A and B are shown apart, each in its own frame.
Chain A
Amino acid sequence: MFIEVKDAVKKYGKGDALVYALDHAELGIEKGEICVILGPSGSGKSTLLNILGGIDSPDSGSILIDGKEITGLKPRQLTEYRRSDVGFVFQFYNLIPDLTVRENIEVVSDISASALDADDIMKALGIEKYRARFPRELSGGQQQRTAIGRALIKNPKILLCDELTGALDSKSSSAVLKYIEKVNQEFGTTIVIITHNEDIRLMADRIIRIKDGKVVVNELNSNKIPSEKIGI
């Protein structure tokens, strides 16, 4: 498995307020898969994504990425991991407002040893003509594509998407998912999407369901259909 989560536990609070965000979670994702993680609010989806991305750590258990254990890494090593291996896309884009589309993408290429060409990325995502615009001058879909470009420019091993269509209308959502699919096909990037939207599971190679911090379903999707055919 390219991504392996073994017996991961993450707790918040104490005593009566103790909550298991991850309760001995187990899962595995193969390289190059699009994996959609579904679950209700508070089920532990975001915690799992944060732990996979190295911005949070489990209290116990093991997280293996491409055979490398990341749970015991020091902060500096975790930074290096995020720098080279992981790309993030967030629901509210989290672009830097003082930078243009191109510059937001360059924020990552600037620290990446194997950065792709920014123009190629922008062309692939259809945002080349907005290159000199600031985030507030863009629609939500255009901003999210910029965020995807920023995540992809370093050619990451894993692309982690947190409710990436959550703030978008259906037309923009559809367009963004199309680009995600394209990225997966062109770059072979392993993509993990967490979402509430049941329809997105249809484009996944693998579907994982989480409830109360436990992985209740981890299955391959034998009926995968292209995103453009999903009615989002």
Chain B
Amino acid sequence: MKKLNNRYKRGFIHNFSFYAGIFFLTCITALMYLLFSTSVICEDKYVHDLFRINNVEDGQFTTLKEMTDDDLSAIEEEYGVKLERQTYCSFEEDDYTVRVFGFTEKVNIPEVTKGSAPEEDDEICLSQSFAEANDIAVGGEIELGGRSYTVTGFAERPDYLYMIENQSDSFHRASEFGIAFVTDGEMESFGDRQFYYSITYGDNGQDDVRKYIYDEFHTLSYMSSDTNHRISTPKATIIQYSLITGGILPALLLLVIAIIAVVLGRKVRSEKKHIGTLSALGYRKSEISLHYVWYALIPGILGEAAGIILTYIFVDMAAGEFFFKLEKLPVKYTISPVNVAIVLVVPVAAYAVTSLLTAGRILKMNVTDMLSGRSTRGRESRLLVESGVNFRTKFRLRSLLNNYGRTIVVILGIVVSGLIMAMALMMDDSCKNYEKNVIDDIGSFNYEYILSYPMNDDEQEGEKLLSNTFEVTGSENSIMLTGVYGEGSMINLETTDGGTADLDGKYYISSMASAIFGVGKGDVLTVYDPCSLEEYDITVSGVINNRAQSMMISSAETVADLIGIDEGYYNIVMSEEELDIDSSVTAEVIEKKAMKEMIQNVISGMKALIWLMVIFGTVICAISVYLMVNMLIEENAVTISMLKVLGYHSREIDRITTNIYHILVPFGIVLALGGGWLITWMYFDFSTASFQAQIPVYLSAKGFVIFIAAIVLSYAVSLVLLSRKVKNINMSDSLKSARE
């Protein structure tokens, strides 16, 4: 066996590009899987530990009647909850806004992630992403409200891991908004302090305590952690990525491994005569099988080892990038031994089993059949036997049909490699398209002023609306009910069936809300007031074409009647131009331009990930296609050499043999596009609530061209690189091997 094993080195050198392809593909596959799974597992653990240990709130609320410390203690004792006042002060500077908190002790306890907590009144801790985006290091300085603070460290709150300024924001802007922590003494010195209450419920549930607080202190607003995007988005992101790590990624990787295994199996099949020779020489079946298994195992194990080593090198640098939406956390990325074992075992097991099975199948043959290289395949297709169609066409069709295993492998190779690229390009294009076209779904207004309380000032400029947020029974998401006065000139009332919403006494739902809650025209949506917990059944009269907001729309009179407020009141003002509304009555101002900027932010945040996927996809595509074409040429070597002997020119030979697979490229492309569309759609559909955006899947002409060009180029470059192989097929050697 030792002498026989000398073949390995020579075999690998002789088929260097083939085995190098297997090595790189296995390496990339292992790297992708380990990096992503490590990132998701470690982030998941860190975030959930932070939520548990630092006691993230279950809900937050404001009340008309202020609760004293005694009130809070009494409620805690009576209902087994933890309840704490959350005091903050917002500083709007020229380039950014900083929301400064004190150090809470029961709920949403801050976590110092770097440096130390402030001890003096002129010291401060900042959230890390904001600090880094503004080039502020620990030990540096920041000026807030005209006062300079020394940064003693970075700190995060568990309820601000998704750092958005307003709940209506779609995406975070690290350089423009962050949070900070000061000493209690410093907090006391701020004049313009605001507060709300945060609560975590115990085993007794939440209904009784919420009713009690509403009855005794008159709850003005209530937001559960499920509807608080700052808390729900990290959870949703982890779930999304877990879905990719647990389902889509392994499926893709298994497909890549399956393709490599099939190619390796076919390689072993081409060694039929050598296997016959070894059999004839008296080698045992087990010895022969083992010999061929190592041809698959060596590049497989080396590829896995390289993938694992690269993961260890790059994990700290790259793993956090997948969670670019969240605050930077000091996560310790530990590669799971189970995943290392999976990466070590699955690919080589697949390669080894395929090689063993193929060698085993060949070894079942008669030794003389092996030596003669006689085919074991079934009957040839009799397609077009008696027809007058040119032999070239018949040959092409029969090559595809008779070698259907090879045909399927070629299509699968293109599909798998194209799929990753298609997903990346579609995600990029879909976000850009959303920013450019879909945001305008919301209406023609450019400014939306959300007031702190309902007003009825007839002199107010702009379009007035009356709005109230409801929670939806059986859902973790809330919905905003907006009432429109009159015809509503600035809000989009176009329905998905092409009509215009008739708001009189009727309720319409936006297409985004329709997707989130799974309701459409004629369905009943049960909502409840988050303060009073009173339930309402609302029949949906139609769906309004709005993929940027989760809302229900009706007439202002209907909304006023529902929420028990006098007609003529409004709490939202919309306008095309900026209005001069007193900031003391404005809770939030939403600019359409800012919404677009947020989408741009997410695109730029995703850019690295998207292009990483495009590059990975292109590399996988190029290597897979190269392996396919290599396999095609090797398997057709005898036919190619025979055609050369018969006087065929290289181009004519290409047209008959290798070029027949051109027809599979469009099939692969269509399937890859379809698969990419489906996965991207699933991703965006699942993310609708957390993104606060219903992003339709879109692929631009440019993206389409990049996608097609990458696949076609990979295919064409592989053909060009391998055309030398076609030219180098030695006629006399091939004929000799056919004779041996």
A and B from one assembly? Answer: yes
Residues on A facing B (Cβ under 8 Å): 46, 50, 53, 55-56, 76, 79-84, 86, 88, 90-92, 94, 96-100, 103, 106-108, 110-111, 132, 134, 136, 150
B644 touches A84 (CB 8 A): no
Q: Contact between A111 and B398 (Cβ–Cβ < 8 Å)?
A: no
Tell me the bound Cα distance from A111 to B647 in angstroms. Answer: 8
Residues of B637-690 whose CB lies within 8 A of A: 638-639, 642-649, 652
**A106 surroundings in chain B (CB, below 8 A):** 391
- Contact B738 A99, beta carbon cutoff 8 Å: no
Residues from chain A with a CB closer than 8 A to the CB of B402 are: 98
Contact of B645 among A80, A82, A136 (CB under 8 A): A82
Are the C-beta atoms of B390 and A110 separated by less than 8 Å? yes
Q: Which residues of B contact A103 (CB under 8 A)?
A: 391, 394-395
A92 to chain B: which residues have CB within 8 Å? 738-739
Let me know if B207 is at the binding interface, CB within 8 A.
no
Contact status A55-B732, CB under 8 Å: yes
Q: Which residues of A contact B391 (CB under 8 A)?
A: 99, 103, 106-107, 110
Q: Which residues of B contact A134 (CB under 8 A)?
A: 379-380
Q: Which of B382-427 contact A (CB under 8 A)?
A: 385-386, 390-392, 394-395, 398-399, 402
B619 contacts chain A at the CB level, 8 A cutoff: no
Q: Are B739 and A100 in contact (CB under 8 A)?
A: no
**Are A79 and B648 interface neighbours, CB within 8 A?**
yes
Known interface pairs A110-B391, A136-B375; 13 further A-B residue pairs with C-beta atoms within 8 A, sorted by A's residue number: A50-B732, A53-B645, A55-B732, A79-B644, A79-B647, A80-B647, A81-B647, A84-B647, A86-B647, A90-B739, A98-B398, A99-B394, A108-B646
Question: How many angstroms from the CA of A96 to the CA of B644 in the assembled complex?
Answer: 13
List CB contacts (< 8 Å) of B526-540 with chain A: none
Chain A proximity mask over B619-646: 1 for CB below 8 Å, otherwise 0? 0000000000000000000110011111
B731 in contact (CB, < 8 A): yes
Determine the main DSSP class of B at the interface with A: helix
| Interchain CA distance A150-B380 in the complex, whole Å | 20
Residues of A within 8 A of B379 (CB): 134
List the A residue with the shortest CB-CB distance to B652.
Answer: A111
User: Cα distance A134–B384 when bound, in Å?
Assistant: 13
Q: A136 contacts which chain B residues (CB < 8 A)?
A: 375, 380
B residues near A100, Cβ cutoff 8 Å: 385
Which B residues are CB-close (under 8 A) to A53?
645
Contacts of B310 in A (CB 8 A): none
Report the minimal beta-carbon distance from A72 to chain B, rounded to whole angstroms.
Answer: 19
* Bound Cα distance A79, B644 (Å): 7
- State which of B399, B646, B648, B732 has its C-beta within 8 Å of the C-beta of A98: B399
Residues of B within 8 A of A110 (CB): 390-392
Query: How many residues of B are in contact with the other chain, CB < 8 A?
Result: 31
Q: List 18 A-B contacts (CB under 8 A).
A: A50-B731, A76-B649, A82-B644, A82-B646, A83-B646, A83-B647, A94-B642, A96-B642, A98-B381, A98-B395, A100-B385, A103-B395, A106-B391, A107-B391, A108-B647, A111-B647, A111-B652, A136-B375
Q: Looking across the interface, which residue of chain A has its beta carbon closest to that of B647? A: A83
How far does the alpha carbon of A96 sit from the alpha carbon of B645 in the complex, in Å?
Answer: 13
Contact check, B647 vs A82: say whether CB atoms are below 8 A apart. Answer: yes
Q: A50-B732, A136-B380 are in contact. Are A96 and B648 (CB under 8 A)?
A: no
A97 touching B375 in the complex, CB below 8 Å, given contacts A90-B739, A92-B738 = yes
Given contacts A99-B394, A106-B391, A111-B652, are A91 and B739 in contact (CB under 8 A)? yes
Which of B395, B644, B645, B735 contacts A99, CB < 8 Å?
B395
Contact residues, B716-740 vs A (CB, 8 A): 731-732, 735-736, 738-739
B residues with a Cβ closer than 8 A to A are: 375, 379-381, 385-386, 390-392, 394-395, 398-399, 402, 638-639, 642-649, 652, 731-732, 735-736, 738-739
Of the candidates A80, A83, A94, A111, which one forms a contact with B738 in the assembled complex, judged by CB atoms under 8 Å apart? Answer: A94
Cα-based distance from A56 to B385 in the complex (angstroms): 35
Minimum distance in angstroms from B644 CB to a CB of chain A: 7
Complex alpha-carbon distance, A111 and B646, angstroms:
9
Instruction: Return chain B residues, CB-CB under 8 Å to A96.
Output: 395, 639, 642
Contact at B385–A132, with CB atoms within 8 Å? yes
Is A94 a contact partner of B399 (Cβ separation < 8 A)?
no
Query: Which residue on B lies nearest to A96, using beta carbons?
Result: B639
Task: Give min CB distance, A84 to chain B, whole Å.
Answer: 7
CB distance from B642 to the nearest CB of A (A): 5
Chain B: which residue is nearest A135 at the CB level? B380
> What separation, in Å, do the CA atoms of A165 and B390 have in the docked complex?
31
Is A56 a contact partner of B735 (Cβ separation < 8 A)?
no
Q: When the two chains form the complex, which single residue of A50, A91, A107 contacts B646, counting CB atoms closer than 8 Å?
A: A107
The interface residues of chain A lying within 8 Å CB-to-CB of B739 are 90-92
Give the CA-CA distance A79 to B731 in the complex, in Å. Answer: 12
Given A88-B646, A91-B739: A97 touches B394 (CB 8 Å cut-off): no
| A-B residue pairs, 4 tightest by C-beta | A83-B647, A82-B647, A55-B731, A103-B391
Give bound CA distance, A90 to B643, whole Å.
13
User: B736 → chain A, closest Cβ, in Å?
Assistant: 8
Chain A hits for B732, CB < 8 A: 46, 50, 55-56
Expressed in whole angstroms, the minimum distance between the Cβ of B729 and any Cβ of chain A is: 11
A132: chain B residues at CB < 8 Å are 385-386
**Nearest-neighbor residue (CB-CB) of B380 within chain A:** A134
Nearest-CB residue, chain A, relative to B397: A98
Report the minimum CB–CB distance from A26 to chain B (whole Å): 22
Q: Which chain B positions have C-beta within 8 A of A81?
A: 647
Residues of A within 8 A of B385 (CB): 100, 132
Q: How far is the CA of A111 from the CA of B638 in the complex (A)?
A: 19
What are the residues of chain A within 8 A of B648 when measuring CB–CB?
79, 83, 111
Most chain B CB neighbours (cut-off 10 Å) among A82, A88, A91, A94: A94
How far, in whole Å, are A136 and B398 apart by their CA atoms in the complex? 15
B398 contacts which chain A residues (CB < 8 A)?
A: 98-99
Nearest-CB residue, chain B, relative to A156:
B647
Complex CA gap A68/B530 in Å reads: 100
Minimum CB–CB distance for B632 against chain A, Å: 14
B739 (CB) vs chain A CBs: closest residue: A92
Q: How far is the CA of A55 from the CA of B638 in the complex (A)?
A: 14
Residue of B nearest to A93 (CB): B738
- Among the listed B375, B381, B386, B649, which residue makes an inter-chain contact with A79, where contact means beta carbons less than 8 Å apart? B649
B residues within 8 A CB of A108? Answer: 646-647
Cβ-defined partner of B643 (8 Å) among A80, A84, A91, A107: A107
Question: Closest chain B residue to A109 by CB distance?
Answer: B391
In the bound complex, how far is the Cα of B656 from the Cα of A96, in angstroms?
A: 12
Cα distance A100–B379 when bound, in Å? 12
Residues of B within 8 A of A83 (CB): 646-648
A102 shortest CB reach to chain B, Å? 8
CA of A136 to CA of B648, assembled, Å: 24
Min CB distance B198 to A, Å, is 74
In the complex, the answer to whether A88 meets B645 with C-beta atoms within 8 Å is yes
Complex Cα spacing A86 to B644, Å: 12
Question: Knowing A88-B645, A106-B391 touch, does A94 contact B638 (C-beta < 8 A)?
Answer: yes
Q: How far is the CA of A98 from the CA of B732 in the complex (A)?
A: 22
In the complex, what residues of A have CB within 8 A of residue B642's CB? 94, 96
| C-alpha spacing A150/B645, complex, angstroms | 12
Q: Closest Cβ of chain B: how far from A192's Cβ, in Å?
A: 15
**B390 → chain A, closest Cβ, in Å?**
7
CA distance A59 to B598 in the complex (A): 73
Residues in A with CB closer than 8 Å to B649 are: 76, 79
A8 to chain B, nearest CB (A): 15
Please name the residue on chain B nearest to A88 by beta carbon.
Answer: B645
Q: Looking at B390, B392, B645, which has the most chain A CB atoms within 10 Å of its CB?
A: B645
Question: Which residues from chain A contact B392 at a C-beta distance below 8 Å?
Answer: 110
Whether B644 contacts A55 by the Cβ 8 Å rule is yes
Collect the chain B residues with CB atoms within 8 Å of residue A150's CB: 646
**B615 to A: closest C-beta gap in Å:** 39
CA distance A55 to B643 in the complex (A): 12
- Complex: how many Å from CA A50 to CA B730? 12
Contact B394 A90, beta carbon cutoff 8 Å = no
Residues of B within 8 A of A111 (CB): 646-648, 652
Pick the residue among A46, A82, A86, A97 that contacts B380 (CB under 8 A).
Answer: A97
Chain B's nearest CB lies how many Å from the CB of A96?
6
